[in-house]
Amino acid sequence: MLAVDVGPSRSSTWRPLVEQIGGAIAPGKKSPRTAGRSATPRKDLPSVMLVDDHPMWRQTLRDVVEQTESGVIVAESGDGKDAVAQAKRIKPQVIVMDVHLPSMNGIEVTRTVAKMLPETRILVLSSSDDRTDVIEAVRAGASGYVVKTEGSPEIASAVRRVFAGELVFPASVAGIVLEELRSGATTRKSNTGAKARPSKETSNVFRREGDYWTLSFGAAMFRARDSRGLRYVAHLLASPHREFQAMELVAVAYRRDRTESAVMKAAGASDAGEVLDQKARTAYRRRIEALTQDAEEAESFNDFERASQAREEIDRLVAELARAVGLGGRSRRAASDSERARVAVRNSITAAVKGIARHDAGLARHLQNAIRTGVFCSYVPDRPVDWRL
């Protein structure tokens, strides 16, 4: 019989895992990597696969699982698509799954593996304790959800319990998880023999949750790091067919009040001198060189998220330099605040849509066709679209 772990309170148990890893290894006892792996794995322990894009976390989790004898590590992966391929080949009994992965996020991997290997238990390990994230994991087929700030005993216990057939979720959302499971069971029963179709209410999502956005357009759902471009897009989606001045969107992104926005508007005809002076241009070029090295180093360590952020900043700086320097290397004069806002909003939205295209080409195509940028910006879809914002 399945049981939901309501556990103790968050404040008493959610402690940093890295600080507690020493407690999982008895004094004087060597790590498996230093002691070797000659011992025959115990057959009563579950086979465990670790999926996390940070090698340090995989190493820490490996220590927790092995030294608490919660399972036997049979595979590791730092990439979503690779994780699916390895799971299909190895068929682990438990997968400890990170959410934010390159090429395919953890929720998508969970959904794919749950359909492909229904006997495999998936324990999602995330840095977020947001209720929406937990529900997404449940809907994808996860058997448990643990926050990365938990201690090693809680992590080890969660691995053992999901293998035993229990559902393990934070106490703060246990009731919601139960309601979701009941709702899902009712929906499956009523739809027996019929092809499931995504709900109109939940199909289109463009919602910010802390430092990330949850986005979907139809069945696919993914997460994207917060950016000004995504804030601009969300503001436009909230009011279809309405025109906003670019400066108004900038004010929204920076959380400026109406008074400051009005001041910016009144100064729209001013000339602010050179776009970038010589000192600023030199600083830009040095920053671009440093970012290029940072991106190359990140790629060598398979840290694709850090590399992507560096590349995006390089693109912005290069565009800024191109805007500041005219023919013959002469400095251009700065345009009005209105013009600067127009260019900034256009570039930010373009970068945001480009990032979305890496996850969902359909959503990116819809936004490209429906969003109009300029001194005035608007969202003009060719058909009504219901968004959860």
The CA angle 39-160-57, to the nearest 5 degrees, is: 75
Least confident of 140-149, 313-322, 356-365: 313-322
Of 192, 220, 189, 199, give the one whose Cα is nearest residue 360.
Answer: 220
Domain residue limits, the chain: 4-190, 227-379
Cβ burial, residue 213 (10 Å; 0-12/13-18/19+): buried
Share of the chain above pLDDT 90, in %: 23
Q: What is the dihedral of CA 223, 225, 227, 229, to 10 degrees?
A: -30
21 DSSP 8-state letter: G
Residue 27 has φ and ψ, to the nearest 5°, of: -55, 130
Q: Are 387 and 235 in contact (CB under 8 A)?
A: no
The pLDDT score that the predictor gives to residue 44 is 78
pLDDT tens, position by position, 152-169? 888 888 899 899 888 887
The pLDDT score that the predictor gives to residue 321 is 67
The 3-state secondary structure of 206-264 reads: EEEECCEEEEEECCCEEEEECCHHHHHHHHHHCCCCCCEEHHHHHHHHCCCCHHHHHHH
pTM over the 0.85 mark: no
Q: Are 126 and 96 in contact (CB under 8 A)?
A: no
pLDDT tens, position by position, 67-118? 999 999 999 999 999 999 999 999 999 999 998 888 898 999 999 999 999 9
pLDDT for residue 341 is more than 70: yes
Domain 4-190: CATH superfamily, name plus number: Response regulator (3.40.50.2300)
pLDDT tens, position by position, 6-37? 444 333 333 444 444 444 433 334 444 433 34
Q: Please give the C-alpha separations between residue 364 and each of 216, 287, 305, in angstroms, as whole numbers.
A: 11, 30, 19
The pLDDT score that the predictor gives to residue 379 is 93
CA 91, 96, 100, 102 torsion-angle sign: negative
Average pLDDT of span 121-142: 83
Cβ burial, residue 316 (10 Å; 0-12/13-18/19+): middle
